[in-house]
Structure 1
């Protein structure tokens, strides 16, 4: 009997979108529970660490989006062929997560003057530093980020990129054809394209 999966997150892409993509890629059925950010204070205390996303598997709840991603990647065949390839995949995922944190730090900065300074650093230093390196990886790996094949690193970056273009205020795929090809490949997978086409029109971010 197949496990019963329930994913809980905000009504948004961000951290949950790569997880949704992995479910779709593997043809795994799941309940996609979306909580409005306005209602979140009423729900926060009911989660183990007061955070989402969480994955419930047959009644057992776990959090941490990357841990959930690795778990599902194993289920759907998007890990490497050995420990070394798994390490390479995790390295790319963690690198993009480092970039994500810097984007979020800028996006949530409340002071306009400090935010302007952070934007300059983000646009002139952080984005070129990370995105040029990922673009080069995609070039070296034949249109994928690692191992010369589709892995969950590609799914992670593709699933996250829209939110962090929004957060950073810059389309960091422009001028980076190899990195863009990674995203395009993931988005062209029929099962993933289908879930993209069904996204709620009222997503918050």
Structure 2
């Protein structure tokens, strides 16, 4: 019998979108429960570690978005052909998370003066440092991150790259053709294209 999935997250793409991409790709039906930010304080303590997204699989509750995405990817045979390729996927996702954490920290900064001061270094130093290296990896691996094969690392980067661009109000992809091509490749997979067309419109 097929497993039942229920994902709980804010009404944004954010960290939930890689999971949604993989579920869409696999044709896996799930409940996409979206909560307003105003609802969060009252329900925070009911989550395992006070964070979202969470995913229930057959009634069992899980957290940590990358771990959930990795689990789904394993079910879909998207973690590479051996343990080394699986590790390569993890390296890409973990490295991209290093970038995401820095952009998210800037985005959440409440002091506008500090935020403006940090914007220049973020966009002119930190983002290019990572993007240039991702570009080289894609070039070396025939347009994908792991040995020219479609893996969950490709889905993860494509989904979160879009979010980072929206948060920073910058179209990074125009400066990095290999990343742009990857995003277009993932976005045009029929299942993903269908999801993008019907998903709720959110700021990021």
What's the TM-score, normalizing by structure 1? 0.96
Shift of 1:204: 5.0
The answer to whether the aligner puts 1:174 opposite 2:169 as a matched pair is no
Shift of 1:14: 0.8
Q: Distance in 1 between matches of 2:7 and 2:114?
A: 36
Shift of 1:115: 1.2
Q: Distance in 1 between matches of 2:133 and 2:113?
A: 29
Shift of 1:44: 1.5
SS at match of 1:147: coil
Q: Which residue of 2 aligns with 1:159?
A: 159
Runs of 4+, deviation exceeding 2 Å: none
Alignment of 1:120-135 (within 5 A): 120-135=120-135
Q: Distance in 1 between matches of 2:71 and 2:130?
A: 26
Q: Distance in 1 between matches of 2:15 and 2:66?
A: 9
SS at match of 2:174: coil
Q: Which residue of 1 aligns with 2:48?
A: 48
Shift of 1:175: 2.0
Conserved? CA contact 1:145–1:182, under 8 Å: no
SS at match of 2:9: strand
SS at match of 1:50: coil
Q: Which residue of 2 aligns with 1:136?
A: 136
Conserved? CA contact 2:166–2:203, under 8 Å: no
Q: Tell me the number of residue pairs that the alignment of Structure 1 and Structure 2 aligns.
A: 204
Shift of 1:168: 2.2
Alignment of 1:4-23 (within 5 A): 4-23=4-23
Structure 1, residues 32-83: CA drift from partner, whole Å, max 9, x if none?
1111112212221221111110110111001000000110000111111111
Conserved? CA contact 1:122–1:168, under 8 Å: no
Superposed CA RMSD:
1.1
Gap runs ≥5 in structure 2: none
